[in-house]
Chain A
Amino acid sequence: MIINIDKDVCTGCRECAEVCPVSAIAGEQGKPQEIDYDKCVMCGQCIQKCKSYVSIVDHGTEAYAIKRDERNLPSSVLEPLFAAYNNCNLDKVKAALADSNVITMVQCAPAVRVGIAEDFGDELGTLAAKKLAAALRSIGFDKIYDTNFTADLTIMEEGTELIKRVTEGGQLPMFTSCCPAWVTFLERNYPEMKDHLSSCKSPQQMGSIFKTYGAKIDNYDPATIFTVSVMPCTCKEFECNREEMNSSGFQDVDVAITTRELAYLIKDMGIDFNSLPDEDFDQPLGMYTGAGTIFSVSGGVMEAAIRTGYELITGKPIPDVDVSAVRGSEGFRTATLKVGDLDLKVGMVTGLKNVIPVLEDIKAGKLDLHFIEVMTCPVGCVSGGGQPKLLLDSDKEAAYSQRTQGIYDHDKELPLRKSHENPAIAKIYEEYLLTPNGKESHHMLHTHYCTGENDHSK
């Protein structure tokens, strides 16, 4: 299982149950808790919350090493181990890195670059995109690619899909599909609304281009490629293992690890993160714009889509690239944006609990919107379940706001801030995908829902 609660360590405080957005944690107060896996969407917020640790006093001096082994963590890990934890897949990553016949490609979600430095003692929300690229190279990945690039690709596909639905009369409102916990929640609880979801794969899964286009440009045999994604999210491991995520002819993303696990790997390899030089991601699949970066904050996917959608619809540059009307951290907010003759009505949901009234209102015909962004975690992926875990809850607000600020600062400093202006995006369409929402891109970059474990019609 991806998310676990260790019965030997859980004190039964039920603080995790308070943060679980889907009431998946069951148990008596004071007794070890259990996860209801039919409900759990694997967001990992319980992991972020849990403070009950493997302790010398309560569990003895030997317990730590035993638990560390049980959880498949490298023996270099020294940090406290808590009752709620996620499955660690670093052994698979290390095996691939050690195999000289394997080409390793890594992608890194936008939120990782404002999280990773925290685990090396930096201030909360420190932007470390260039050190991150250097760290991944030092680890030994053959190609340092980027989820920010595939986020730009998502915008090309999702923006085009939205325009099509609005102008040609498709299912509205359209929901974003980047967040696998949200997608899982809808599939299991509101399967009748699955056609509202954008058919676009998440940026991680658009990483299907690594084993195809990425293999082609460097003359690699796709069968020898092992793809790793580094995510602020515990649910991404579930997403990459979905049975339909094999457009490349192979499992598109072999393993997803969290920001925290990347920190373990960096330490395990004896890399001194703080003294790494500034380096860049590899080209062309590591080239990204500010739009790809802001995917990690609430309102960011919406803003990125608007930056591109506006220009695709009107043919004119957007008056202000900062679409402040969609920013914020409130659980549900709406905005109306003038896009040529169209009043584009959008909604942003952050925190999965807040989506239920929205879904009910849509079903009751009470909510008239074109496009809704949904993110499961409190303020988007920067607050994801796989991000560095805070020792004190009182740091939460600062962590959320500083990580968000780090993302917006990065967006501002990048020379290009609109996905369609990314020259590597133009090139991949020219050479491989041809046209957004076209035949090839549909095969590689789009998906369908309510499959496998999430097919609850069975």
Chain B
Amino acid sequence: MNKKLGSFVVASSDQCTGCKACEIACFASHNHKDNKVVHTVGTVEIPVTPRLFLIKLEDKCLPIQCKQCEDAPCLNSCSAKAITKLDGTLLVNEELCIGCKNCMMACPFGALEMFPIAQKGKAVPQIGSDEPRKAAFKCDLCSGLENGPACVDACPHDVLKLMDLEDDRKEKSIRAAIALTLTGNL
């Protein structure tokens, strides 16, 4: 059964130290196959392109990533129809993306970034320029990858959580119902 609401990863505690293990894990898990990234740093030959972003505030920090919006501004604004929704997750097709940045403008969370795309450990060049081709990078919940989402696993302080709000809402409702029965006011 398809879920009614898309799941998403979110920082769910204030224990984040800002170590960026999540960003590194995100990058590694997305580049095992196409860019020969294996277990060690020495196997990386391309810039680190994470799909979540550590944000440092005055005295706190936490990573920000896509909320997999239901009426997604990124999808709605995409001029190249490169963003699609599959089982509640918003995915960017790098081949179709032209880097117009509409999605970046539209996203209220700053959850997308334009990064150079790479294949086989090399930047993919543009046809008419020496610059590498860029595309929108965003959290895809490690769609199609084993043991995802990688960031949730990698966090040493269990800051990140994969939220399934339908289950979450039900759980909360049940707790509320139990609380009501205990008050004896039914």
Question: B142-158 CB contact bits vs A (8 Å, 1 = yes)?
Answer: 00000000100110100
B19 at the interface (CB under 8 A from A): yes
A390 at the interface (CB under 8 A from B): yes
- B20 and A389 within 8 A (CB): no
Question: A37-80 CB contact bits vs B (8 Å, 1 = yes)?
Answer: 00000000000000111011100000010000000000000111
Tell me whether A15 and B156 are in contact in the complex, defined as CB-CB below 8 angstroms, given that A30-B59, A51-B20, A64-B47 are known contacts.
yes
Distance (whole angstroms) from the CB of B35 to the closest CB of chain A: 11
Instruction: Give chain A residues whose Cβ lies under 8 Å from the Cβ of B38.
Output: 118, 121-122
- A393 and B18 within 8 A (CB): no
Instruction: Give chain B residues whose Cβ lies under 8 Å from the Cβ of A260.
Output: 41-42
A30 to B23, CA, bound (A): 17
Classify chain A: how many residues form its interface, as a range. 35 or more
Q: Which residue of B lies closest to A260 (CB)?
A: B42
- A390 and B40 within 8 A (CB): yes
- B41 and A391 within 8 A (CB): yes
A80 to B19, CA, bound (A): 15
Distance (whole angstroms) from the CB of B134 to the closest CB of chain A: 11
B46 at the interface (CB under 8 A from A): yes
B171 at the interface (CB under 8 A from A): no
- A393 and B36 within 8 A (CB): no
A13 at the interface (CB under 8 A from B): yes
Instruction: Give chain B residues whose Cβ lies under 8 Å from the Cβ of A120.
Output: 42-43
- A30 and B39 within 8 A (CB): no
Tell me whether A391 and B25 are in contact in the complex, defined as CB-CB below 8 angstroms, given that A119-B40, A121-B38 are known contacts.
yes
A382 at the interface (CB under 8 A from B): no
Q: Which of B7-36 contact A (CB under 8 A)?
A: 17-21, 23-25, 28, 36
Classify chain B: how many residues form its interface, as a range. 35 or more
Query: What is the total of A-B residue contacts with beta carbons within 8 Å?
Result: 111
Question: A382-393 CB contact bits vs B (8 Å, 1 = yes)?
Answer: 000000111111
Instruction: Give chain A residues whose Cβ lies under 8 Å from the Cβ of B150.
Output: 392
- B17 and A394 within 8 A (CB): no
- A121 and B43 within 8 A (CB): yes
Instruction: Give chain B residues whose Cβ lies under 8 Å from the Cβ of A119.
Output: 40-43
Contact for B24 among A12, A64, A121, A392, CB less than 8 A:
A392
Q: Which residue of A lies closest to B121 (CB)?
A: A78
Instruction: Give chain B residues whose Cβ lies under 8 Å from the Cβ of A349.
Output: none
A23 to B136, CA, bound (A): 42
- B17 and A118 within 8 A (CB): no
A50 to B113, CA, bound (A): 24
Contact for A124 among B39, B41, B60, CB less than 8 A:
B39
B49 at the interface (CB under 8 A from A): yes
Instruction: Give chain A residues whose Cβ lies under 8 Å from the Cβ of B115.
Output: 56
Tell me whether A391 and B39 are in contact in the complex, defined as CB-CB below 8 angstroms, given that A11-B54, A57-B113, A80-B48 are known contacts.
yes
Q: Which residue of B lies closest to A10 (CB)?
A: B18
- B39 and A392 within 8 A (CB): yes
Contact for B18 among A11, A56, A78, A79, CB less than 8 A:
A11
- B42 and A392 within 8 A (CB): no
Instruction: Give chain A residues whose Cβ lies under 8 Å from the Cβ of B153.
Output: 394
A82 to B19, CA, bound (A): 11
- A11 and B44 within 8 A (CB): no
A346 at the interface (CB under 8 A from B): no
Instruction: Give chain B residues whose Cβ lies under 8 Å from the Cβ of A121.
Output: 36, 38, 43
A20 at the interface (CB under 8 A from B): no
Please give 14 more A-B residue pairs, beta carbons under 8 A apart, in addition to A56-B47, A388-B41: A30-B56, A51-B20, A51-B23, A52-B20, A55-B50, A57-B53, A80-B41, A80-B47, A118-B38, A119-B43, A388-B40, A391-B37, A391-B40, A392-B25
Q: List 11 A-B contacts (CB under 8 A).
A: A11-B18, A11-B54, A51-B19, A52-B19, A56-B49, A79-B41, A121-B38, A388-B39, A391-B40, A395-B39, A399-B39
